[in-house]
């Protein structure tokens, strides 16, 4: 039996591997990756590599074994993810895995924004397959914002259309730690459960801008604009139209409170408070 992480060379996947290796021996961890060379550092740490691709179902045949505890990290190719996830689910069922954890989205079936649709469809596929499962419904990563600091600093403004809506974000490392806890803890505590994961503190984009200003000593404003203007700004900056529409729809959801939900599930799973936004901003500025 192994603990298997798919998408293990992605931003979240690598953090999950890091968290697992603080809890279990490396020989009990397997990483499903597309590119063996990209995962060479994981192999050097003693992690088993299993080469497979979400988009090539036949390659998934040997990715899992009987009794494995598997983390399906959602794919990054919006619009293709349901078919990709279905291939992983089919392979996991055929292998007889003991647990399939899935990184979905805060709110689960109640989430009503466009980006949630593929997550909801994936959860239903897992239920239909009858797999022993754990739904990790991740809220927003603070890095979704701090990873885009360059234009904020260049223009002295955070631009959005979320109004006064609030976001209960946490760091990727927080969500990774929760996944590791669920994959290594007693299975009976987590099977067939859904965790609504979010940060302990919800903040607005105006507060985010104010914190960036405080830490940089610069004038940073929050410019709240109509959705149509926001869309034009994003596409004008080179964001592809379909993805820009998704981002604007996320701000609509933020304005309605869809990403402000705080259940305490995340801090309970990781055994500590979630990472404050000021800390994540500080780290991003130090790397800028």
Q: pTM for the complete prediction?
A: 0.96
Mean pLDDT of 117-142: 97
Q: For residues 181 and 174, what is the distance between their CA atoms, to the nearest angstrom?
A: 11
Q: Which of 60, 67, 69 is nearest to 20 (CA)?
A: 69
Domains with residue ranges and CATH for the chain: 3-138+172-196 (3.40.50.720), 145-166+200-261+271-287 (3.90.25.10)
| 174/172 Cα distance (integer angstroms) | 5
Contact between 81 and 63 (Cβ < 8 Å) = no
Query: How does pLDDT run across 189-235, given as a tens digit for each residue?
Result: 999 999 999 999 999 999 999 999 999 999 999 999 999 999 999 99
Q: Which residues of 7-39 are buried (b: 16+ CB within 10 A; e: fewer)?
A: bbbbebbbbbbebbbeeeeeebbbbbbbeeeeb
Q: What is the reported pLDDT for 187?
A: 87
DSSP helix/strand/coil, 102: strand
């Amino acid at each position: 039996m192994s603990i298997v992480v798919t998408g293990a060379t992605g931003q979240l996947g690598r953090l999950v591997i890091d968290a697992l290796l603080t809890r279990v021996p490396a020989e009990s961890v397997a990483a499903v990756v597309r590119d063996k060379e990209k995962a060479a550092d994981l192999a050097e740490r003693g992690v088993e590599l299993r080469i497979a691709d979400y988009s090539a179902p036949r390659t998934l045949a040997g990715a899992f074994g009987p009794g494995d505890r598997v983390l399906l990290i959602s794919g990054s190719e919006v619009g293709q993810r349901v078919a990709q996830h279905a291939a992983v689910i089919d392979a996991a069922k055929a292998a007889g895995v003991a647990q399939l954890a899935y990184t979905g989205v805060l709110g689960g079936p109640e989430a009503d924004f466009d980006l949630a649709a593929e997550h909801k469809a994936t959860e239903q596929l897992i239920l239909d397959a009858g797999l022993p499962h754990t739904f990790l419904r991740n809220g927003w990563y603070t890095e979704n914002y701090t990873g885009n600091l360059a234009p904020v600093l260049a223009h002295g403004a955070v631009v959005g259309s979320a109004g006064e809506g609030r976001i209960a974000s946490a760091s990727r490392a927080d969500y990774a730690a929760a996944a590791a806890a669920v994959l290594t803890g007693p299975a009976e505590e987590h099977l067939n459960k859904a965790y609504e994961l979010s940060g302990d503190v919800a903040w607005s984009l105006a507060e985010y801008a104010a914190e960036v200003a405080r830490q940089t000593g610069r004038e940073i404003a929050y410019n709240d604009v109509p959705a149509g203007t926001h869309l034009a700004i994003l596409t004008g900056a080179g964001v592809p139209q379909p993805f820009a529409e998704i981002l604007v729809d996320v701000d609509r959801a933020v304005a309605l409170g869809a990403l402000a939900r705080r259940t305490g599930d995340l801090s309970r799973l990781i055994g500590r408070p979630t990472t404050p936004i000021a800390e994540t901003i500080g780290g991003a500025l130090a790397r800028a």
